[in-house]
Structure 1
Amino acid sequence: MRIHFIAIGGSAMHNLAIALHKKGYQITGSDDVIFEPAKSRLDKYGLLPAEMGWDENRISSNLDAVILGMHARIDNSELLKAQELGITIYSYPEYIYEQSKNKLRVVIGGSHGKTTITSMILHVLNYYNRDFDYLVGAQLAGFETMVKVTENAPVMIIEGDEYLSSPIDRRPKFHLYKANVAVISGIAWDHINVFPTYADYTSQFEKFINTIEEAGTLIYCEADADLNEIVSRSEANINKIGYGIPAHEIENGITYLLPEKTALKIFGDHNLMNLNAAKLVCEQLNISTADFDTAIASFTGAAKRLEVISANDSTNVYKDFAHSPSKLKATIDAVKAQFADRKLVACIELHTFSSLNKDFLKEYAGAMDKADHAIVFIDLKSFEQKRMKPFSEEDVQEAFSNPKLKFFNDAVQLKAYLLSLNYQHTNLLMMSSGNYAGFDLPELAVSLKN
């Protein structure tokens, strides 16, 4: 098979390119810019384009297919040439389905927790040396790439998000996988640039349920009232299994699963619900509750999900991917519950299109109320790049309903403020789906005053 990737440098795209290369396919690709770690990974396998930019001469009738990344535009010269030649063009979720249509497909959907649930399932399957393919949205310990596709694996575990598939395919990715076993972890409005109303957004999950294969299984968070309503009125011919928070207790900063008192390396109600979702999926894959608990005890979390940067008897420093209102609140609540005797300094960097939209900003009301020091940072460059009007401190304080909240749009001033605080019996939580304004977090952690 000869396959060309347009916009090969994307997170999922470059991992899929490597996976297909390992499978023996002839892979070429192009992009206008490729960042690390994609650049080094592609170079390692001889897949890094010799020159950046688009060139229609890369496209010929010898190709079996083109896979189109979301980063490309609809007037991309290579895309236009492929269309002119009648070459089959796939989005990457379409091609993932092509690679897995003869396997049992487990698709993890929902506004939050997808990567963690997927990671937990992969961890347990790996623990028991199961043969499986996968697509996950973060780099995991023990897994070289974020995508694996083989001929013989009987099952594929797929993290399925609701964002658009490609510039010429406006369907959400998770609609294309046709799950045999599906998870919906919860619904919290996101991607306002694509789904301008909450109703537009929730309808995507209704459609997702209807894509589940007949007699398949839906595992869903029954603590989510809106999701419960959607599931209850669905007439899809599927099995429906709800889940909530499992029985547990916290002692000396460690969470234990009950009744066997299995010590966990993760914590927080949201992670415990993620764990229950993963356990129910693993039951569908014939892994018992006891075997699941044994394996999950060694799970340390997905990358950037409450990842420990440093820890001592007085202060832990975490980084987390949280950026949406629901994720922000869940992460703060988790750290406060786990360390009830410590104060919390919580800093969120807003940089997604939704979070920089003034109409959407009010969705963050109350999200940081449990933090002892609540901080919002927005790099002025984010507004400039998205051509949006900057917020004032008053805008942010009003939207978050928190007059004590501190707001910064200068990274130097933010760092100075963080370093000025006393961290005796205090944790620091840095949250962003970006790069924290280029902070060296380990260096920052070393510099904190105790």
Structure 2
Amino acid sequence: MHIHILGICGTFMGSLALLARELGHRVTGSDAGVYPPMSTQLEAQGIALMDGYAPANLEPAPDLVIIGNALSRGNAEVEAVLDRHLPYTSGPQWLQEHVLTRRPVLAVAGTHGKTTTASMLAWLLEHAGLAPGFLIGGVPRNFGVSARLGGAGAPFVIEADEYDTAFFDKRSKFVHYRPDVAVLNNLEFDHADIFDDLAAIERQFHHLVRTVPGRGALIVNAAEPALERVLAQGCWTPVTRFGGVVGERQGDWQVSHEPGETRRFTLHHRDHAPVAIEWSLSGEHNLANAMAAIVAAETQGVSVSAAGRALAEFASPRRRQELRGVVNGIEVIDDFAHHPTAIAFTLTGLRSLAGSGRLLAVIEPRSNTMRLGAMKTRLPESVATADRVYWYQPPNLSWSVHEVSEACRPPSAVFDGIDALINALVSDAEPGDRIVIMSNGSFDGLHERLLEALMQRADAPLS
């Protein structure tokens, strides 16, 4: 079958393309913006990419068109699909019908940490020899691909997004997945382009809860009041809670660690002996992600001690505090942070690492929520742990970043051009500094261009 995917370079749709290819289909796709790591992943699998949307991309006519949720009426290729009466569906629906049926599904939901937690969970299952399938909104470095079918009948890990499904299906994506195990990691207001308030998102999470069978499992962050409100709307599945301070009963699972040291921690449960774990990730948010992944893996028979050994070998997904290069002692780090809470998590986690250098934060307000300005009053507080902040003002942003910059506690500046931003960073950075670049897009190749500029300044090799 020839499947053509509209919006193929999005993290979800690109991963879907890999699964369709693995099932033996011929896969093509189109998108308005093609950039790594997804584009390189797809090209390596022999998937033909078409830059831009046009009716000609549908010639010869595919057997099925899968339309991503970034596409809407008025798009030339969407209109051609409708005019020609070509069969079409959404990505989540295709996934449920062709991949998720008749196998255990473990869905990871939450405003933050879905990619990291789903990557952890898939790795814990893999390390235990279960050969899981997965679809993750990033590239887990332990696997090198964002999606695979896995063994026949093996558990399937899915990053469960609350964003809507398609222009013709406004339900959240995750209601299609019908998981046996659902992780509810955290919940706060996001996606201001489609949700009016937090209560609207809570309703969608409750729709997910309604799909989990009574013999399944709900794994819920005990420190999240919004998730308790979700469960209060009705719950028919056993709930296991994680989080909270050891000794102050909140979650069934908790962690303890030395102050400021989150790369060594101990996992506690009333029915288990404490398990000491060492790993490479930092930050309290990643401890919550780890607890969620460990508890979910246990539902598939993975022991806590085995999960702890697997975490010692876990590498965070690409674009999640990913070190892109070091020049003259200056680290350039890539992070997907696209929400004030995520920005604060990233900076606080990096601040906790040993080292005397400064933390330089570079931020592009690019997500739909950011573009609408719904979170701009929270941005100054989110960067409080940085030593300097460099804001990028995209040309299509409807509000001024200067107001945010002026309210920041650390020294802060705004740039409306990438070249000027690079020049400032190259001028300011000193050996020992960490430059963390936060955006949910390609940022016009800033990471590579900055590393090249630093090398030119230092005449030093890239390590």
8 Å CA contact retained: 1:246, 1:257: yes
Q: Could you tell which deviates more after superposition, 192-201 or 235-244?
A: 192-201
3-state DSSP class of the match of 2:229?
helix
- Separation in 1 of the partners of 2:322 and 2:242? 25
- Separation in 1 of the partners of 2:152 and 2:281? 33
Change over 3 Å in CA distance of 1:445–1:102 after alignment to 2: farther
* Number of residues of Structure 1 aligned to a counterpart in Structure 2: 433
* Residue aligning to 1:135: 135
Percent identical residues: 24
- Separation in 2 of the partners of 1:447 and 1:270? 36
3-state DSSP class of the match of 1:249?
coil
Change over 3 Å in CA distance of 1:220–1:445 after alignment to 2: farther
Give the partner amino acid of 1:102: R
Give the partner amino acid of 2:34: F
Post-superposition shift, 1:122?
A: 1.5
Give the partner amino acid of 2:264: Y
Give the partner amino acid of 1:443: E
Q: Could you tell which deviates more after superposition, 426-435 or 131-140?
A: 426-435
Give the partner amino acid of 2:400: F
Give the partner amino acid of 1:434: G
- Separation in 2 of the partners of 1:343 and 1:151? 46
Map of 1:244-393 to 2, 5 A cutoff?
A: 244=243, 246-249=255-258, 255-258=263-266, 261-310=276-325, 316-339=331-354, 341-380=356-395, 382-383=396-397, 388=398, 390-391=399-400, 393=402
* Residue aligning to 1:237: 236
- Separation in 2 of the partners of 1:281 and 1:293? 13
* TM-score of the pair, normalised by structure 1: 0.86
Q: Could you tell which deviates more after superposition, 111-120 or 11-20?
A: 11-20
* Residue aligning to 1:54: 55
* Residue aligning to 2:430: 423
- Separation in 1 of the partners of 2:50 and 2:355? 54
3-state DSSP class of the match of 2:158?
strand
Change over 3 Å in CA distance of 1:323–1:444 after alignment to 2: farther
* Residue aligning to 1:13: 13
* TM-score of the pair, normalised by structure 2: 0.83
- Separation in 2 of the partners of 1:58 and 1:378? 42
8 Å CA contact retained: 2:275, 2:305: no
Runs of at least 5 residues in structure 2 that lack an aligned partner in the other structure:
244-253, 267-273
3-state DSSP class of the match of 2:369?
coil
Post-superposition shift, 1:312?
A: 9.2
3-state DSSP class of the match of 1:355?
helix
> What RMSD, in angstroms, separates the aligned Cα atoms of the two structures?
3.0
Map of 1:179-190 to 2, 5 A cutoff?
A: 179-190=179-190
Change over 3 Å in CA distance of 1:150–1:68 after alignment to 2: farther
Give the partner amino acid of 1:255: R
- Separation in 2 of the partners of 1:6 and 1:310? 33
Post-superposition shift, 1:189?
A: 1.6
* Residue aligning to 2:269: none
- Separation in 1 of the partners of 2:360 and 2:225? 31
Give the partner amino acid of 1:79: V
3-state DSSP class of the match of 2:359?
strand
Post-superposition shift, 1:228?
A: 3.0
* Residue aligning to 1:31: 30
- Separation in 2 of the partners of 1:135 and 1:223? 27
* Residue aligning to 1:146: 146
8 Å CA contact retained: 1:304, 1:320: yes
Counterpart among 78, 81, 89 of residue 79 in structure 1 = 81
Post-superposition shift, 1:15?
A: 3.2
Post-superposition shift, 1:103?
A: 0.8
Change over 3 Å in CA distance of 1:342–1:202 after alignment to 2: farther
8 Å CA contact retained: 2:185, 2:220: yes
3-state DSSP class of the match of 1:246?
strand
* Residue aligning to 1:443: 452
8 Å CA contact retained: 1:119, 1:140: yes
Post-superposition shift, 1:340?
A: 7.2
8 Å CA contact retained: 2:364, 2:392: yes
Post-superposition shift, 1:261?
A: 4.5
Post-superposition shift, 1:409?
A: 1.8
